[in-house]
Structure 1
Amino acid sequence: MPTLYLSHGAPPLADDPVWPGELAAWSASLPRPTAILVISAHWEEAPLAIGATRSVPLVYDFRGFPERYYRVRYEAPGAPGLADSVRRLLRTPGTPVQDIPDRGLDHGGYVPLVEMFPRADVPVLQISMPTLDPRRLLEVGRRLSPLRDEGVLIVGSGFFTHNLAALRHRGVPGWSAEFDDWGRRSLASGDVDALLDFERKAPAGRLAHPRTEHFAPLFVAMGASGGDPSSGRSVIDGFWRGLAKRSIQFG
């Protein structure tokens, strides 16, 4: 299986005239996964945590939206076998793994999956990001890589630029466009060092990501694919409310 880094959008993504169709077309082009493993910008927990392995209520981790966004359901099957595999691959004497069995999918998981796999018939498991250190996340991805041979689709869910100040602008802020272009070129050239040090080396890096949790899932997806960013291709690009929605398929 390939691995994915996708920009997941907020709940109103469902009302966008273009983006849901782009996500649906992307999933239709993929082999059918045996299960989906999600690493979302919206769950940081150390040590690394494994979420629910059965269908439990979603986590509506947002405020101030119309009531209909809180009625969305995504009752995908749990993936206890995948959870066992994750424990086997990641748990070592110095690296514990914990279970939080009542932790459902947050919007970084279910918002894109509703568009990509609307039947909710593929088992889904979410794990936490135990750190925001890109090098450590790259290693987490590398250790998860064997799951690809079992048909597991590994999805890092973030946002290619994520500074909500963009929502106050008309059009695309310069910092968002600059970072997006830099990221596209760095991926195409395979510049791992630049990507790992994006806060210092990217133009407007700290403006594009005042906090880095939405870029961080990229490194899990990249590591799971073998760690070569040039193996990725942008499947979705452009901007949504000023934020770069670039989404990448590795492998």
Structure 2
Amino acid sequence: MRTFAIGDIHGGLKALIQVLNKLELKEGDKIIFMGDYVDGWSESAQVVQFLIDLSEKFNCVFIKGNHDVWCENWLKDSNDVNPSWFLHGGKETIESYEGFSADEKQQHILFFDNLPLYHIDTENRLFLHAGFTSMHGVEREQFEALFYLDRSLWEMLLAMDKNIGKDSIFYPKRIQHYKEIYIGHTPTTNYNEPYPMNIANVWNVDTGAAFKGRVTGINIDTKAYFQSDNLPSLYPNELGRNK
């Protein structure tokens, strides 16, 4: 059995399909999606439907991202249009639901409702969209919104002295609880890196699909990764979130 983590998708169904084709999935494989399935490119509703269908064939874990929270709120109440969300991909998501029936939208609400905020596998590897702040681990986090909004975990790692050993009193306590941690949310392309980034035991697999980057899937055992084409090349008549 192989396990893959797939980074942020942001409505890029064509990119997701490219990555899945490269993974050459087999029976028994596990796929953990890191959240942010919607907002950006034109096929957000189609991505959600594709994932629902995919889960009937493979062992899938879908983590909830911040854009998924905003989309779910809108699906539950079409008057709940967060202005910031609308400007950062929400408009394209709303348009992608044109033609979807009330029953289909309800199915998507159930999908979003059931998304966990984090997943810990049998080897004590943690998967979540953004981060957490509790030095005692995710089970003791007091503010669950941090699981899909926090950037301090990744920013701490970027600034961490690489010479600090794991046995040092200065080594970050929150990352010591897990064998590995996989996140999305903060694009690696922000740091001019088009590939997954690894610092300490944390892997960031958001490679900028919302903007000019790619969707990435990584084999968490071998660390081999597979990427789509750049999203603007797959949606040449769209801007995505490159506004």
TM-score (norm 2): 0.34
Structure with a larger share of its residues in helix: 1
TM-score normalised per structure 1: 0.34
Say which structure, 1 or 2, has more relative contact order (CA 8 Å, 6+ apart): 1
